[in-house]
């Protein structure tokens, strides 16, 4: 369950190649193998480039390029711990969703899967597409057939 938001100063890197940013974190009450998760907005603000294969993240600082590296042992341990947490937490989860100006409604995680329609999974296209030639080359743009003419 989300407990709220908190704004914290985050320092990324090792001295002297450190980048400091103020960012908001969503506080949740759930078992996790992670202390914090850096989202896309933080990575964008840091101008960071990540490599999952190399377990590395590079970012700009005032003193050239900073770098944060992971360790293979730590990654395996974290992954194994997350699997153990999932195995213990088999009960269906319920989350609260606060709608603007309305009382909160209870929804299960399963209700949020956009692929499921009337109990069936739809993993195909939502609508039919038609080809639209861009120029005189062989390049084609696919556009939904339900798109209105002015668009």
pLDDT tens-digit readout, 20-56: 989 888 888 877 767 788 888 889 999 999 998 898 9
pLDDT the model gives residue 99: 44
Q: Where are the beta strands (DSSP E) in the chain?
A: 2-14, 17-28, 49-51, 56-61, 64-69, 94-97, 105-108, 116-117, 120-121, 129-133, 140-144
Q: How far apart are CA 141 and CA 131, in angstroms?
A: 6
> Please, are residues 75 and 55 in contact by the beta-carbon 8 Å criterion?
yes
Q: Residue 124 — pLDDT band, cuts 50, 70, 90? A: low
In this prediction the pTM is 0.48
Q: What is the reported pLDDT for 86? A: 62
**Calpha distance 32→34 (Å, rounded):** 5
């Amino acid at each position: 369950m989300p407990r709220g938001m908190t704004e914290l100063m985050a320092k990324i890197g090792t001295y002297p190649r450190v980048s400091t940013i103020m960012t908001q974190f969503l506080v949740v009450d759930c078992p996790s193998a992670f202390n914090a998760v850096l989202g896309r907005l933080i990575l964008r603000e840091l101008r960071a480039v990540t490599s999952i294969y190399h377990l590395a993240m590079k970012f700009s600082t005032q003193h050239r390029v900073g770098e944060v590296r992971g360790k293979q042992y730590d990654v395996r341990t974290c992954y194994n711990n997350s699997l153990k947490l999932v195995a213990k937490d088999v009960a269906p989860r319920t989350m609260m969703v606060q709608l603007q100006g309305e009382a909160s409604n209870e929804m299960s995680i399963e209700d949020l899967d956009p692929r499921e329609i009337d109990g069936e999974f739809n993993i195909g296209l939502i609508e039919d597409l038609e080809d639209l030639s861009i120029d005189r080359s062989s390049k084609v743009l696919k556009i939904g057939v339900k798109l209105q003419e002015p668009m």
